[in-house]
A and B are shown apart, each in its own frame.
Chain A
Amino acid sequence: MGRRTPLFTVHASAGARIVEFGGWDMPLHYGSLLAEHHAVRRSAGVFDVSHMCIIDLEGAETRALLRMLFANDVGKLTIPGKALYGCLLNERGGVIDDLIVYYLGERWFRAVVNAATRAKDLQWIRQHAAGFGVKVTERADLAMLAVQGPEARERVAALLSGAGAARALALEAFCGAEIDGWFVARTGYTGEEGFEVMLPGEQAQSLWRALTAAGVAPCGLGARDTLRLEAGMNLYGQDMDEHTSPLESGLAWTVAMSPDRAFIGREALEAQRARGVERKLVGLVLQERGVLRAHQRVIAAGTGEGEITSGSYSPTLERSIALARVPTPTRGPVQVEVRGKLLDARVVKPPFVRHGKSLIG
């Protein structure tokens, strides 16, 4: 048995198919992954993401610590509540994890990291925090719900006080605020509008019930995966890991090479850039019937071979899509080996879907 979130009993009694994920017993779906996916694209869905690890970092030197640990530059964070996405890197420039960092005050930042990497992330952060006098606290007392879809923000706002609702609806993209005792952030992992709400674990069930009573669809990890793939968002451990750099993972935009700071992994990335990044992460759209899956071989005429890192059926596009790591010059048509047959696919720039609309033409 894995760890369980405060919502486990709610999932189980709703008939969810429970699977192990990153050491947690989590809902895969509640009957139909496709229906859950469409609910998020068309109206609103709610995900229990309490398995993700929330880490509070406190102390006068927190910003200095994060400027060294985080490949994106928290120097960009000047307005309280503002969030920044990026990676923790090792000395070789490999990705230890991807995370969101919130700036909550000059002495207080919050990181949200992946469930499966919780232990190594905490160890890595604590190891470096000591020298900066930064206090590292895992907020296991908090649950987190992601409410996503074109109607999601209204559904959450309806459960807040009048003033709280106004503040929540006024949040700019990638910003959060403490509202009515919850931390409400306009972030997500689906390519739709929505909020992620961090709240005391003992309040999670009542929020879940209020949302589902208001017509928000309970959604599991299955739909979370198809939605993030359509949105062109990487999954740690699948699309990047400690052996791949952000430059070969479609994450160059999250690396801030500001001249005024040294961060762990910077030298390795600079060296990689100087000699030329040999591989890149691209989107693939299958041109035939079938389903692309992780680890299938990609054959690019003239440039060599690559490998699919995430592949699935896209419920919105009704065809198969994938992320694949391929030689940098690869473009246009490629082939993918599926059960011994070569199928035609084409290279596209992710995202595949944004706000319910196809972007692949």
Chain B
Amino acid sequence: MSKVPTDLKYTRTHEWLRTLPDGTVEVGITDHAQHALGDLVFVEVPEAGRTVCPGEPFAVVESVKAASDVYAPVSGEVIEGNPALAGAPETLNSDPYGGGWLARLRLTAAPGALLSAAEYEKLTAEEAE
């Protein structure tokens, strides 16, 4: 069973979103997603200053087998992409909700409807059927 921390928000495309004390947000991919992708060997994070819209591909994660887009969960401006992932993409597999964060964003609009942990868990359970 994959981990779904209750203090985060989620998307249907398997990203998570954490609101930090200063109001900025941190974004990554879920434990379910990293498990489905398998061993990750390359990550392309967005550059600082880029503005993104919800649903826009803003990062790429590549397993040995395939490349997958990661979609921005909210409207925002990228503060920074996680610089540690270039040298250690496997962190996305081992610590998807911690060291495996992909980018920090400053919100430019109120977030749309995101899933709660319970709703996301229900979604992944349905997909498994």
Report which A residues bind B (CB closer than 8 A).
Answer: 17, 28-29, 32-34, 222, 225-226, 289-291, 293, 312-313, 315, 320, 339
User: What 0/1 readout, one digit per residue, does chain B (39-55) give for beta carbons within 8 Å of chain A?
Assistant: 10110100000000000
The distance from the CB of B59 to the nearest CB of chain A, in whole angstroms, is: 12
Docked pose: A154 CA to B47 CA in angstroms: 52
**A33 partner, pick from B39, B42, B60, beta carbons under 8 A:** B39
Q: Find the residue from A289, A290, A291, A293 having the highest chain B CB count within 10 A.
A: A291
Instruction: Indicate which residue in A29, A289, A293 contacts B86 across the interface (CB closer than 8 Å).
Output: A289
Q: Closest CB of chain B to A337's CB: distance in Å? A: 14
Q: What separation, in Å, do the CA atoms of A222 and B41 have in the docked complex? A: 14
With known contacts A313-B62, A339-B60, A291–B39 Cβ distance under 8 A: no
Q: How many residues of B contact A (CB 8 A)?
A: 13
- Contact: B86 with A33, CB < 8 Å? no
**Residue of A225, A313, A339 touching B41 (CB-CB under 8 A):** A313
In the assembled complex, 15 residue pairs joining A and B whose CB atoms fall closer than 8 Å, in A order, are: A28-B38, A33-B38, A33-B63, A33-B65, A34-B41, A222-B64, A222-B65, A225-B65, A289-B42, A289-B86, A290-B44, A291-B41, A315-B64, A320-B42, A339-B67
CA gap between A226 and B67 in the complex, in Å: 15
Residues of B within 8 A of A290 (CB): 42, 44, 62
Cross-chain contact B39 with A34 (CB below 8 angstroms)? yes
The answer to whether A293 and B67 touch (CB under 8 A), given A17-B38, A32-B38, A313-B42, is yes
The A-B contact count (CB < 8 A) is 40
- Prevailing SS type, chain A contact patch: mixed
In angstroms, how far is the closest chain B Cβ from the Cβ of A219?
Answer: 13
Mark contacts of B57-76 with chain A using CB atoms, 8 A cut-off: 1 yes-contact digit, 0 otherwise.
00010111111000000000
Mark B residues whose CB is within 8 Å of A: 38-39, 41-42, 44, 60, 62-67, 86
| Residues on A with beta carbons closer than 8 Å to the beta carbon of B86 | 289
Choose one: B39, B44, B60; the contact of A32 (CB below 8 Å). Answer: B39
Q: In the docked arrangement, what's the CA distance between A32 and B64, Å?
A: 10
Docked CA distance A29–B37 (Å): 11
- Nearest opposing residue in chain B for A341, CB measure: B44
**In whole Å, how far is A90's beta carbon from the nearest beta carbon of chain B?**
31
Q: Are B64 and A312 in contact (CB under 8 A)?
A: yes
A312 to B42, CA, bound (A): 11
The 8 closest A-B pairs by CB, nearest first: A313-B41, A34-B39, A291-B62, A291-B42, A313-B64, A33-B64, A33-B39, A32-B39
Is A34 in contact with B64, judged by CB distance below 8 angstroms? yes
How far is B65's CA from A29's CA once the two chains are assembled, in angstroms?
11
CB nearest to B36 among chain A residues: A17
**Given contact pairs A29-B38, A290-B62, a sample of 16 additional A-B residue pairs in the complex whose CB atoms are under 8 Å apart:** A28-B38, A33-B63, A33-B64, A33-B65, A222-B38, A225-B65, A226-B64, A289-B42, A290-B42, A293-B66, A312-B64, A312-B65, A313-B41, A313-B42, A313-B62, A339-B60
List residues of chain A with CB within 8 A of the CB of B66.
293
Residue of A nearest to B65 (CB): A222
Query: Contacts of B44 on A, CB cut-off 8 Å?
Result: 290
Nearest-Cβ distance from residue A312 to partner chain B, whole angstroms: 6
Q: In the complex, A326→B91 CA distance in Å? A: 36
Chain B neighbourhood of A17, CB < 8 A: 38
User: Nearest Cβ distance between residue A249 and chain B, in whole angstroms?
Assistant: 23
Task: Name A339's closest neighbour in chain B (CB-CB).
Answer: B60
- A28-B37 Cα distance, complex, nearest whole Å: 12
Q: Please name all residues of chain A whose beta carbon is closer than 8 Å to the beta carbon of B41 when the two chains form the complex.
A: 34, 291, 313
A315: chain B residues within 8 A (beta carbon): 64
Would you give the shortest CB distance from A309 to chain B, in whole angstroms? 16
- Picked from A28, A34, A225, A291, the residue with its CB within 8 Å of the CB of B67 is A291
A29 to B41 CA separation, bound complex (whole angstroms): 16
Q: Cα distance A226–B66 when bound, in Å? A: 12
Residues of B within 8 A of A313 (CB): 41-42, 62, 64
Roughly how many angstroms separate A249 CA and B44 CA in the complex, as a whole number? 32
Query: Bound state CA distance, A17 and B62, in angstroms?
Result: 18
Distance (whole angstroms) from the CB of B69 to the closest CB of chain A: 10
Within the assembled complex, what's the spacing in Å between the Cα atoms of A67 and B63? 43
Interchain CA distance A33-B67 in the complex, whole Å? 15
Enumerate chain A residues within 8 angstroms of B42, measured Cβ to Cβ: 289-291, 313, 320
- Chain A's closest residue to B66 (CB) is A293
Q: Say how far B34's CB is from chain A's closest CB, in angstroms.
A: 12
Q: Please report the C-alpha to C-alpha distance between residue A289 and residue B41 in the assembled complex, in whole angstroms.
A: 10
